[in-house]
Chains A and B, each alone.
Chain A
Amino acid sequence: MRIRRRKQFEDDMDAELRFHVESYVDDLIRSGFSPAEAERRARIEFGSVETKKDECRQAWGLQRLDELRADLRLTFRTIRQNPGFAAIAILSLALGIGANTAIFGVFDAVMLRLLPVRDPGQLVFVQSAGTKGRDGQPYPCFELIRDRARSFAAVSAFSPSDMELTADHGRELARGVWVSGNFYEALGVRPLIGRTLTASDDQTPGKGGPDGPVAVISRASWQQRFGGDPAVVGRTIYLYEHAVTIVGVMPTETMSLEPGRPVEIAVPMMLSNPAMLRDRTSAWLQVVGRLKPAVRAEQARAESDGLFQAYMADVQISEQIRRMLFQRIELAPAGQGLGGLRRQFSKPLTALMILAGLVLLAACVNMTNLMLARAMARQRDFAVRLAIGAGRGRLVRQHLTESLVLVGAGATLGIVLAHLGEMALAAFFAEGNNKIVLDLSLNVRMLLFTLSVAVLSGLALGIVPAMRAARLDPAAGLHGGSRGIAGNRVSLRLGRALVVVQVALSMVLLAGAGLFIRSLRQLESVDLGFAREGILTMEVTPERQLFGSSEWLAMQTDIIDRVRQIPGLRSASWATMNPLSGRDRGAILEVPGFVPRTETDKHIHLAAISPEYFDTLGVPMRLGRGFSARDHGSAPKVAILNETAARFYFGNANPIGRKVRFTNYPSRDLLYEVVGVVRDAKHDSLREPASRFIYLPIPQSVDRINRLALAARCSGDAITFAAPVRQQIQSVRSTLLIDNVSTMEKQIEQALLRERLVAALSTTFGTVALVLACIGLYGILAHAVTRRTNEIGIRMALGATRSGVVWLVLREAFALAGGGIVIGLPVVLALGQVTKASLYGVEPFDPLAFASAALLLLLFTALAATLPGRRASLLDPTSALRRE
């Protein structure tokens, strides 16, 4: 198209000018000139046709295009002439740009992206807040705000929950969400097929609406569970024991407002536990309001707060709980969904963005150095162009074109690398039981990011050589040959400075990686308080009618007995939760004689366990006894504390025989006698010291026992015992639902996801920077040897040994590396201070990490110097001296 237009332009111009000259010739002939003379005069008076044409093109704005085309042609020619240079340049840029794009992709997915709902900016979470932070609302309070608040165009609510489904593959656990009927309409999310839920589906407790109990499923669930069959709409599945009809398929990412935690099924609230719908104090709902266009957030907050206070005035709760949880209403932006993932990853991702930026900087410095070296090599070429009349602007543009072409190629390759990296990162996040599913497919924002990074680096790269080209003196350039002019010496000095910068960047990245790796190792080897090897864990859920029944209790003992028969399995136990499983449960403890100073002093973590629990996990008793089969439901109530709890509540006194009560459970009057103290064990986080824990026997639990976690201690690889254990459990009752099968080691890995992510990526980045620095060092040393050929020849002629010559090169290399390391050090220190909070068991000034980084750099410096050094030592003095 453009080429055709261009040809038309040329043809027209040609015809027009020809018409002019020919008309003039005709006129001249008419006034009596001979045809030949007329031709001659016309040509003279018209002037040079080609020059005029060029001026016309320029007037028409075409010249720039022509020049660009010429620049590009020249660029491709030089790349073909020197493919090694181009390959290194493109590859290093691709690594830098790829790293940035990949990390930015994760950053975008976790930190920046708004959910694909209608006007996400208008959505707010309406949360109850208190001294303990923010939480959701009880159902009756949600109803009140939904029906009364005028500031909102719509108020809806949701609550993610594990749900038990029965479809083609028998009973299964799925992540689901209870939603108010208007949820998807309020968000403005449309179904992919079928229909979405509506307010009318959510009218009658236990029944739903006119269509009976209905549900919608996510696209992912539709693909995985139902093979993408469109006939899924209208199908009946079972939610617990109730039949529900699937009426539609929704986009996965907007099934719920919890980014990264995909939900398979959404069910109207009215089908959830009726007791929960009535409960006036349990804040299980996240309430989402859509602000009316003209309403300010503060206005909406004040209005809902008024309704909330009126509601709370009517609710029987202690003043303390009110202060902690139900003090007032706060609004939070909801366009990005709940912020759990953002909070968890904001620091590591920011750190990684910075590190990735440093890698890109290193890549750019490397490129600049390479381009500089090439510009020196081509000085003569440019001098010739200047001498025959090329404008300096043209030369500068030529340089910029070249760097942009290289950057373009680097960016393209970088996007490919980023894509591979993102797949690895997505897999990294999606591992384990609490998988985080991130949508890391390329999007416009990521491409824009890459584009701007690329253009900026292209300009940064081109600018130094371009400025040097602009200053080039054609006379000197033509005279000087390949060496010996001042410009070269300046370039070499600049090149050296750039290499020092590269080494400094590598030092920063390597030392940073060292810090993160050391921190990770410390965390991995932290004393957990329980055994980490050979422990298989899984969760077992009976049918709902068995919850809290003696039948379920009997089954538990039966399962333990059978599982223990498996050869190689040493012991097995039940508990309401295993350590590091992500589950937790709290209680409010009353200890006679202990005066709590704050409300939180009463808080304790609570687990019900079977007698084998401490033995299986390898937690030693410190005082008293463990539980036994004699601590059954009707026996005197007993409890075991961990050391932290014993010390906290009883100081140095002996807690054995003391009695405690749980005031937040219906069994608040029951006294539990402390019969033992166990060693502390980590529960939630590997970083935090152990928190206060109290253990009860399962038959004496304060609440109904439903789902339980099994732990089994095995000899050898624990995961290989999963199949036989599962078999034994199902031989007791085939309908028992087994999931979250894992090992303690896996759970530890899982708990260290962030740390592993940062350590792995910073190591990758450090390696890339190291390789780039080596390339830079090699380049500058090789160049220096070439430049000093004469000098080396003289030295050798005067009796310098070969090893002395090698040392000459090595000395320069070490001087450069040493300079870089020294410059890098304070930056590492600053970085250490910034990331101090993320480090564990390592000081920001960690001599080991720093020394290893420096040593590694020096080692690779020596490697990079070997080749040029060898070449220098093999020079033949006579021919070296004879060189120009």
Chain B
Amino acid sequence: MGKQVELLPGTLDMLILKAVSLGGLHGYGVLLRLQQLTGGRLQIQQGSLYPALYRLERKGLIASAWGESENKRKAKFYTLTASGRKQLKAETALWRDFSSVVAGVLSAIPGES
């Protein structure tokens, strides 16, 4: 397991959208998938997922429905909506631009400019 990374403010929503985009998940499933995708390196307070999920659903980016979990229990499943998909795409592009710009600045070598 690599070094733990703290979540940048504002990125949780984007990560949740990504996680849900790979297939419908319940809240706990979102957590597991994020841990799996980050190799467990991302620190997320478990409870904080839920206000974010509610906020995203309120905005219409994800939709929820009650269903049955792997262990045969009643659970609330989230899926990405069309506008959620668009939002994810836009944020992904934004993030790429942002990180490349920041990376460019940070990799500047003294004396070059």
Contacts and interface: CB of A to CB of B under 8 A. Distances in A.
Contact of B50 (A26, A45, A52, A61): A52
B46 A59 contact: no
B58 A59 contact: yes
A46 B47 contact: yes
A45 B46 CA distance: 6
Contacts of B113: none
Interface stretch (A13-21, A466-474, A770-778): A13-21
Contacts of B54: 56, 59-60
- The secondary structure that dominates the A interface is helix
B47 A19 contact: no
B28 A19 contact: yes
Given A55-B51, A59-B51, A61-B58, A23 B28 contact: yes
B55 interface: yes
B50 A16 contact: yes
- Number of chain B interface residues as a range: 20 to 34
B27 A59 contact: no
- The secondary structure that dominates the B interface is helix
A45 B45 contact: yes
A60 B48 CA distance: 14
Contact of B51 (A22, A46, A56): A56
Interface stretch (B68-76, B79-87, B90-98, B103-111): B68-76
Contacts of B55: 59
Interface in B32-74: 45-48, 50-52, 54-55, 58, 69, 71, 73-74
Nearest to B56: A59
B18 interface: no
A884 interface: no
Nearest to B59: A59
B74 A52 contact: no
B74 A56 contact: no
A259 to B, nearest CB: 52
B71 A52 contact: no
Interface string A22-39: 111010000000000000
A47 B47 contact: yes
Contact of A16 (B27, B31, B48, B52): B27
A48 interface: yes
- Number of chain A interface residues as a range: 20 to 34
B58 A52 contact: no
Question: Which residue, A13, A46, A48, A61, has most C-beta atoms of chain B within 10 A?
Answer: A46
Contact of B71 (A26, A56, A61): A26
Given A24-B28, A60-B58, A61-B58, A47 B48 contact: yes
Given A12-B76, A16-B76, A56-B51, A47 B71 contact: no
A78 interface: no
A56 B51 CA distance: 4
Question: Which residue, B47, B55, B75, has most C-beta atoms of chain A within 10 A?
Answer: B47
A24 B45 CA distance: 13
Contact of B74 (A19, A51, A59): A19
Nearest to A55: B51
A26 B74 CA distance: 15
A730 interface: no
Nearest to B29: A23
Contacts of A16: 26-27, 50, 75-76
Contact of A47 (B27, B28, B31, B45): B45
Interface in A776-825: none
A49 B45 CA distance: 12
Nearest to A16: B76
A443 interface: no
Contacts of A26: 71
Contacts of B71: 23, 26
A452 to B, nearest CB: 32
A421 to B, nearest CB: 48
A543 to B, nearest CB: 82
B103 to A, nearest CB: 32
B50 A19 contact: no
Contacts of B28: 19-20, 23-24
A20 B46 contact: yes
Contacts of A56: 50-51, 54
Contacts of A48: 47
Contacts of A131: none
B58 to A, nearest CB: 6
A761 to B, nearest CB: 53
Question: Which residue, B31, B45, B48, B54, has most C-beta atoms of chain A within 10 A?
Answer: B54
Nearest to B55: A59
A19 B58 contact: no
B72 to A, nearest CB: 12
Contacts of B69: 19, 23
B27 A20 contact: yes
A161 interface: no
A528 B69 CA distance: 99
Contacts of A58: 51
Contacts of A47: 45-48
Given A20-B50, A59-B51, A60-B58, 9 more contacts: A15-B74, A16-B26, A16-B76, A17-B47, A19-B74, A23-B71, A45-B46, A56-B50, A60-B54
Q: A-B pairs with the 8 shortest C-beta distances?
A: A47-B47, A55-B51, A52-B47, A59-B55, A59-B54, A46-B46, A20-B28, A56-B54
7 contacts: A19-B28, A19-B74, A20-B31, A20-B46, A24-B46, A45-B45, A48-B47
Interface of A: 12-13, 15-17, 19-20, 22-24, 26, 45-49, 51-52, 55-56, 58-61
